[in-house]
Structure 1
Amino acid sequence: MNGAGSVPAQAPAQAPAQASAAACAGYVGLTFDDGPSGNAPALLTALKQSGLRATMFNTGQNAAANPAQVRAQVSAGMWVANHSYTHPHLTQLSQAQIDAEISRTQTAIGGAGGGTPKLFRPPYGETNATVKSVAAKYGLTQILWDVDSQDWNNASTDAIVQAAGRLTNGQIILMHDGPANTRAAIPRIAQGLAARGLCAGMISPQTGRAVAPS
């Protein structure tokens, strides 16, 4: 009886994954910078409730200060990435200072339980050959964005939803850990993506594009 009973119990669990994969005509990268802050739990809740996964570009100082939130990001199925330690203008720093910003963040995120990041986003999107070479030294792929939600500039919830509506297959949107308007936009972003057959994917370290989660 027990053996027979286990078969139908497993079948429904597999069906939703197959159905959702079939519904994905493409993948986009949802990214959130500057966390994990005090707003991180509410952001994770909003993402989980909407069935979305995202890449969290954490600063090293926030990861070190909030290790439980880094672990919560991983537990929620998010990907944790490097956003420097103190969020400086990296292009104004020496190579040694850039190295310290990136390496300390790798250590902080790893120490907090976030694994070893494969992706790096320079603060403000400011980069040059030196920044890219230091990131590459640590096995990091530099990731910028295709669409800027402008949530850092007090964009409204409607504007953030509209920005996400411009995403096409493989593209990446910039959002942030803190703004309340961003959290409010998440359910509508999820609805908009689903309506267009797009799913929230991971960012490939090889191509820097959003792809199906592996």
Structure 2
Amino acid sequence: TYDDGPNPSNTNNLLNTLRSNGLRATFFNIGQNAQNNPSLVRAQVDAGMWVGNHSWTHPHLTQMSSSQIQSELQRTQQAIQQATGTAPKLFRPPYGETNSTLKSVEQQLGLREIIWDVDSQDWNGASTSQIVQAAGRLQNGQIILMHDQYSTTVQAISQIAANLRSRNLCAGMISPTTGRAVAPDGSGPASPSPT
């Protein structure tokens, strides 16, 4: 998964690198970035990626009121739907912070909350090799946190792809039903269409 995009300086490079390595991923987009760059959101979907909601401004949602949270999530749903024709089914809370108020708003909007199992630490200055090592800890069905804007993250992709293949794993889609990664061919309980 890649958070915080779309990003005019890096998203296309990231998409091209994923595609050339035969990988698909879920992009948790910030609503205002999606509104400012709708063509990049469409490019994510056109490249075979899945798009999720990562709030409008990336705030600490657990410190906000229900109506403020509603606005953050709803505006993002609308921006992504305007860009792609489909509203997201997946939501990643900024900083991985959640509480009952947030969960209630997610439920009202039909969103499944997605946290991560492995943090690549790319946001924290991890090197390409450290990002590759983090991805090497992934087990079947698990989700890794990465971000759209770092060149180290893009540089790690080919090694991550090779490592997954060597362990007979593939990059998967996140099932809106279970919130776990499943094979992207639609053989699991999830639909093969981007959500």
Q: Which TM-score tier does this pair reach, normalised by the shorter chain? A: over 0.9
The match for 1:41 is: 12
Equivalent residues of 1:71, 1:114 under 8 A apart:
no
**Does residue 182 in structure 1 map to residue 182 in structure 2?**
no
Q: Which runs of 5+ in 1 are unaligned?
A: 1-30
Runs of 4+ in 1 over 6 A off after TM superposition: none
The match for 1:20 is: none
Q: CA deviation at 1:145?
A: 0.3
Corresponding pairs, count: 184
Counterparts of 2:143 and 2:99 in 1: how far apart (Å)? 20
Equivalent residues of 1:74, 1:114 under 8 A apart:
no
Greater relative CO (CA pairs within 8 A, separation 6+): 1
The match for 2:189 is: none
The match for 1:208 is: 179
- Over the residues paired in the alignment, what is the CA RMSD in angstroms? 0.7
Counterparts of 1:114 and 1:79 in 2: how far apart (Å)? 13
Q: Deviations over 1:35-82 (max 9, x none)?
A: 000210010011001100000000100000000000000000000000
Change (3 A) 1:114 1:48: farther
Instruction: Report which of the two has the higher share of helix.
Output: 1
User: Sequence identity of aligned pairs in percent?
Assistant: 67
Q: Which runs of 5+ in 2 are unaligned?
A: 187-195
Counterparts of 1:151 and 1:116 in 2: how far apart (Å)? 28
Report the structure number with the largest CA radius of gyration.
1
Q: Trace 1:10-21 onto structure 2 (pairs within 5 A).
A: none
Q: CA deviation at 1:136?
A: 1.1
The match for 1:155 is: 126
TM-score by length of 2: 0.93
Q: Deviations over 1:7-46 (max 9, x none)?
A: xxxxxxxxxxxxxxxxxxxxxxxx0000000210010011
**Does residue 67 in structure 1 map to residue 72 in structure 2?**
no
**Does residue 80 in structure 1 map to residue 68 in structure 2?**
no
Counterparts of 2:134 and 2:85 in 1: how far apart (Å)? 29
